[in-house]
Amino acid sequence: MFPSKRLTLPPYSRRTAISLALAGIVTVTAAAWGLSSGNEAHANTPPTAATVDVAAVLSRSIVDWQQFSGRLEAVDRVDIRPQVSGILTAVHFKDGAVVRKGDLLFTIDPRPFAAEVARAQAQVAAAESRAAYTATELARAERLLADNAIAKRDFEEKQNQARDGAASLQAAQAALKVARLNLEYCEIRAPIDGRLSRAEVTPGNLVTANAGAPLSSIVAAARIYAAFEVDEQSFLKYINAASSGQTPDLPVSLGLANEVGYSREGRIHSVDNRLDTASGTIRVRALFDNPDGRLIPGLYARIRLGGSQERNALLINEKAVGTDQDKRFVLVVGADNKAEYREVRTGATQHGLLVVEQGLQAGERIVVNGLQRIRPGDLINPQTTPMPGGDANDGGQEAAKVPAAAQTPTDSPAATGKAG
């Protein structure tokens, strides 16, 4: 075994070690103190307010419009068919032409019917001659009967012959009228004003009266129907009330598929007499003027139906509305510039803005841009801007029109009435 030896440091080495240890303790203590001071200073620093765009809720007078889809239908439509049989000799129109009532469209060979008229005229002449002769004989018999110079039986025979002659004359005259009418039917004329389809039969073909396909068709062009289906709730709330006289006539507008707005104004013409229980809708027809003839049956139509009289409504930009499960909300900016969660009930779109039926008051400021960067209760840096989608001058003027004491409460009928 080796003898153990004790390691002994010289006096100056011990002093150096103690100094180094003390220096390390001081360094660690200072670092810990500095870290604690930094955390405390960071905790006392106020959070940075997010900069967002805010705008005042607008108040406007609007009409609740209901939008529907439908199809155009002809007010009058007539199939052109021949009323007499014969050879078609001429077509007097171009396909798709606009015609007036009474314009000549087709001609059927009139010669057989002209001959029938001549024969009927001859029969009328013969019947007139016989009627005149029998009338003269009856007059002579009456004079003889007064002198008892003729038998009663002979007088009654003359009387019967006169009646037979008059009846034969009436029959001949009726046959002449029919013959002349058939001759007129050889010229097929437009029964109404409107636009024609194409000619389905060309000259030289035999056409048969009231049989086979029509020669053409004509639809009225000056006016046209727009037929559309209205749901039960809209019917009860608006159309039924208007038809019973409780509200004025509802305004109706029409737009075509290639149009942005609604270019034509019309009126409700008729409402069906029953509700379709399968679809829960009722058929409605609106009547529109069509002076330029651009509206033709079968076209798709966008229908806008005025659902009420003018009323005051609150309008906001749709981008200001957030979704929380089945709820819709906005962030209202309070006097302390903090964001407040506010549930809202919205309606239809009007003037490019969303109608707020409940939850806001006119003039309140809401976040319209930057909604995703803040949460309810956050302090924000509001940048006031006009309501996007509204007129540039609406930003503060609309709010100024409605004083705080006169603002519409959220539970009032004007704020809770539904726009379709």
Average the pLDDT over 398-403 and give the result.
36
Residue 397: partners with Cβ closer than 8 Å, 6 or more residues away: none
Residue 357 amino acid letter: E
**Top-confidence residue, 389 or 46:** 389
Give strand ranges (E) for 310-391.
Answer: 311-316, 322-324, 327-333, 339-350, 353-358, 365-369, 380-384
Q: Where are the domains of the chain?
A: 52-64+310-416, 67-75+220-306, 78-104+187-214, 110-185
Q: In sequence order, what are the beta bridge partners of 188?
A: 106
Instruction: Give the DSSP H or E segment for 288.
Output: strand 281-289
Determine what percent of the chain is predicted with pLDDT higher than 90: 45
Tell me if 363 sits within 8 A of 55, measured CB to CB.
no
Q: What does each C-alpha distance from 102 to 105, 108, 194 come to in angstroms?
A: 9, 16, 11
Q: Quick one: pLDDT at residue 349?
A: 78
Which architecture does CATH list for 52-64+310-416? Beta Barrel (2.40)
Whether domain 67-75+220-306 has CATH 2.40.30.170: yes
Domain 78-104+187-214 carries which CATH code?
2.40.50.100
Average the pLDDT over 342-360 and give the result.
85
Pairing, β 223-231 against β 86-91: unpaired
Q: Quick one: pLDDT at residue 402?
A: 35
Average the pLDDT over 24-42 and give the result.
50
Average the pLDDT over 285-313 and give the result.
87
User: DSSP character for 235?
Assistant: I
Which is the CATH superfamily of the domain at 110-185? Helix hairpin bin (1.10.287.470)
